[in-house]
C-alpha cells in the first residue's frame, strides 16, 4: 500500500513545482523551469492514478498489489 500510505505527496508535488518556479524562475533557464513544473504535475497525476488503482484493489478485496500489477491493471 505504498501509494495510499504516501497519498499526501499528490498535492505536495505541484506545490514543489510552483515553489521552484516562484523562487528560481528568473535564475534558471526557461526550459529547466518548464521541465520541473510540468514534470511535477505529470508525476502527481501518475501517482494519483496508481493510488486509485491501489484503492480499487483494496476495496474489491484483492489485497495488496505490487507496482508491476498496478501497471498491468492500468494498461489493460
Residue-wise pLDDT tens for the chain (76 aa)? 788 888 999 999 999 999 988 998 889 898 998 899 899 999 999 999 999 888 887 777 655 556 566 666 555 5
Buried b (16+ CB within 10 A) or exposed e, 48-73: bebbebbeebeeeeeeebeeeebeee
Please state the pTM of the whole predicted model: 0.72
* SS3 category, 61: coil
- Quote the pLDDT of residue 18: 92
Residue 75's pLDDT is: 56
The pLDDT of residue 57 is: 79
User: Does residue 69 contact residue 58 with C-beta atoms inside 8 Å?
Assistant: no
Amino acid at each position: 500500500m505504498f501509494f495510499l500510505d504516501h497519498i499526501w505527496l499528490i498535492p505536495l508535488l505541484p506545490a514543489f513545482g510552483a515553489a521552484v518556479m516562484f523562487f528560481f524562475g528568473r535564475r534558471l533557464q526557461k526550459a529547466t523551469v518548464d521541465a520541473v513544473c510540468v514534470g511535477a504535475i505529470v508525476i502527481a497525476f501518475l501517482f494519483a492514478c496508481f493510488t486509485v488503482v491501489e484503492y480499487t484493489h483494496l476495496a474489491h478485496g484483492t489485497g495488496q498489489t505490487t507496482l508491476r500489477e498496478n501497471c498491468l491493471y492500468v494498461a489493460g
